[in-house]
Structure 1
Amino acid sequence: MKSRLSRRAVLAGAVSTLTVAATVRAPAQGIQERTIRWGHLNNPGHPTSLGVRKVAEVLLAKSGGKLRIREFPASQLGNEMQQQSALRGGTQEMFSASTTSLATVVKDFGLLDFPFIVGSSAQAEALITGPFGKAMLETLPEKDLIGLGYWGLGFRNVTNSRTAITKLEEFAGLKLRVIPNPVYLDTFRALGANPVPMNFGEVYTALETKTIDGQENPYSVILSNKFFEVQKFLSATNHTYTQNIITIGKKFWDQLSADERKLIQDSVNESRDYQREVTLKADTESLGELKAKGMQFNEIAPAEMARIRTATRPVAAKFSADLDQAKVRLFNAELERVQKL
């Protein structure tokens, strides 16, 4: 009896091993050896970098070692516009940066930059994973880009070297670096600041030399780029929620087999929860570290926040008029839904 059971166990184990081996090998039938260059703007260790590495890990395993991602952090492949152009031209494979930079390619992405549209990360997540976020991905192929999904990076907050911002009037005259995007420019003009469009890689030096007074970014970006070394004041303005979009060049995408495309998309999808967790953790921990490193942090009283929001309302009205009205209606309907969460 024991001998018969033993033989059955051995046979079962052998079948199981063969099944696993077949499962691992099967995807590789339509897969070539490829190295995929993925560029982004943030430093190693930032949640974006950790997300890239997780996708690389998952994809390597799924492809049987054939599809490798090589990370190029910290703007090594150029600024936002340069990397987008490289993707569209077929000289770079992947890129992740804020949806803000895509507004120069598809204007309707500017809707996500409207100030104070969401009040929590849960609302932001619901907006981007719902019908509006999906509709925006569908606009990219005609621009020679493929959108694989979004990573939330947290609320943006203002830092500067001159004053704590506790009320609307304290924005007056501040030279603040913003992403080169019309919505951001008009938002900070409405607050009385002097917004300066500037590529991200130039920001630290501009802050250090006092060419600009401040900038605005999520806590994790402020920390990982060591802005605390050249900025004193950090104010919880929470004016927009940054979404990173993962893009791949259409010219490269069209060269891939159906198996390769599926593995890349599946790897991005399976890494989303991990990236979301590290982002939320980094947001909390980054604020604590920024305080520990000497930044003077302040929240803004609800009454003053209401004044600040009111000052920026004309921005949404102005830019909505110049966008695809079907997208604007979908966006507003989705906002109404998620703001109840």
Structure 2
Amino acid sequence: MKTSTTKRLTTLVGGTLFALTTLHANAATQMPPFPEVTGDKVEADGEYKIKFSIGTTQSGAQYRGLEYFEKIVEERSGGDVQVELFHSAQLGDDLQAVSNLQSGTLEMTAPSTSPLVGMFPEFAVFDLPFLFPTPEVADNVLDGEIGQRMLEEASRQGLVAIGWAENGYRQLTNSETPVKEPADLEGLKIRTMQNDIHLDIWRTLGANPTPMSFAELFTALEQGVVDGQENPWITIEASKFYEVQDYASETNHVYTPFITLVSARFWDRLPAEYQQLLREAAKEMGEYERKVSRTLNDQIKQELKESGMNITELSPEQVKVFQEKLAPVYDEWRDEIGGELIDSIRQVSQ
């Protein structure tokens, strides 16, 4: 019998899934400019300071989004709400930051959903393969009724969830062969996070999934301990995996969002006018951060091609073969995650 989701869905945390990375300077300089801050000035009693901590680096899309959040909040509050940003897990990894929100020693954080599965089992839906076929589907789900319902579900245990942003799609690289179909994965040792759904994905595809710390990954690839790995383009480039991986496949097999969280202790002290300001700023930050994330990913994929990496772009027909092969993963996890949630997301993509 399957053990509880909390026990089974263990994940690597602290931003190491996608986050402990540094982009090339030329990519960072091409980030989309900040949109103009719009909206009336918000007036309320009191002055407030917000410490906003993330696990990703200062040169990534997420931090760029936080800078826009800071700009919106400070301009529209006339400086009465000040935002101080902390990157690279300076105040602790994702779970530590969430714990600090609960205790009231930190005001805001924005982890990816994977480390929060133990607290909110329904977030495991974001680990299912090929559930979000396009970024537009992800946007429609997260910005619509489903996303709002999940924000409300996450607004407990000392947390208030106020918005979504994008961590992005994971891609496959390896040192052995181009991967165009599941048969190409037979016997390949693929490093994955310690996450039961991800292990099921690669095992079902015929690979040999090998859980491993992100910090050990480059050396393991270099020494042939594992043949491949899967991460977003940003992480692949920044971690220089192209130096030890000749082949990549743009699989887009898992889409992961960031969720913007506020300490309930801090939230309850805020005037309603500033609560609404934070909600509006989080929404605008998420929209802008997605644009930055997708721009950087497009730039970086092109850079990897130019560096000599052999990148396979799967056709819709090829993707369908992977999806059909992975049907048993959905059967295995449907009851534990919630069939209604899975079906409602699938309906959006029809």
Q: TM-score range by the shorter chain?
A: 0.7 to 0.9
**Aligned partners of 2:50 and 2:108 also within 8 Å:** no
CA distance in 1 between counterparts of 2:267 and 2:137 reads 31
Correspondences of 1:98-113 after superposition (within 5 Å): 98-113=112-127
Q: Secondary structure at the match of 1:142?
A: coil
- 1:250 corresponds to which letter in structure 2? A
**1:64-99 CA-partner distances (Å, limit 9, x unpaired):** 223333333233333333333333333333222322
Count of residue pairs brought into register by the alignment = 311
**1:24-48 CA-partner distances (Å, limit 9, x unpaired):** 4x52x423241413213x2222211
**1:213-265 CA-partner distances (Å, limit 9, x unpaired):** 33222223323444334433211111122212112232332333323322222
Are 2:308 and 1:297 equivalent residues in the alignment?
no
Q: 1:93 aligns with which of 102, 107, 111?
A: 107
Q: 2:49 aligns with which of 16, 34, 54?
A: 34
Instruction: Tell me the CA shift for residue 158 of structure 1.
Output: 0.9
Q: 2:175 aligns with which of 151, 161, 169?
A: 161
Correspondences of 1:179-258 after superposition (within 5 Å): 179-198=193-212, 200=214, 203-204=217-218, 206-207=220-221, 210-258=224-272
Q: Secondary structure at the match of 1:98?
A: coil
TM-score w.r.t. the length of structure 1 is 0.81
Decide which structure has the larger Cα Rg and report it.
1
CA distance in 2 between counterparts of 1:77 and 1:208 reads 31
Structure 2 vs 1, CA of residues 205 and 96 (structure 1 numbering), >3 Å: closer, same or farther?
farther
Structure 2 vs 1, CA of residues 35 and 93 (structure 1 numbering), >3 Å: closer, same or farther?
closer
Q: Larger % of helix: which?
A: 1
CA distance in 2 between counterparts of 1:254 and 1:303 reads 51
**Aligned partners of 2:54 and 2:94 also within 8 Å:** no
* Unaligned residue ranges in structure 2 (runs of 5+): 1-39
Are 2:269 and 1:274 equivalent residues in the alignment?
no
Aligned to 1:15: none
- 2:256 corresponds to which letter in structure 1? T
The root-mean-square deviation of aligned C-alpha atoms, in Å, is 2.6
CA distance in 2 between counterparts of 1:68 and 1:174 reads 50
Deviates more, 1:256-265 or 1:224-233: 224-233
Q: Secondary structure at the match of 2:262?
A: strand
- 1:333 corresponds to which letter in structure 2? S
CA distance in 1 between counterparts of 2:189 and 2:95 reads 23
TM-score w.r.t. the length of structure 2 is 0.79
Q: 1:140 aligns with which of 142, 151, 154?
A: 154
**1:132-176 CA-partner distances (Å, limit 9, x unpaired):** 111111111223222111113432211233332222123233333
* Unaligned residue ranges in structure 1 (runs of 5+): 1-22
Aligned to 1:339: 349
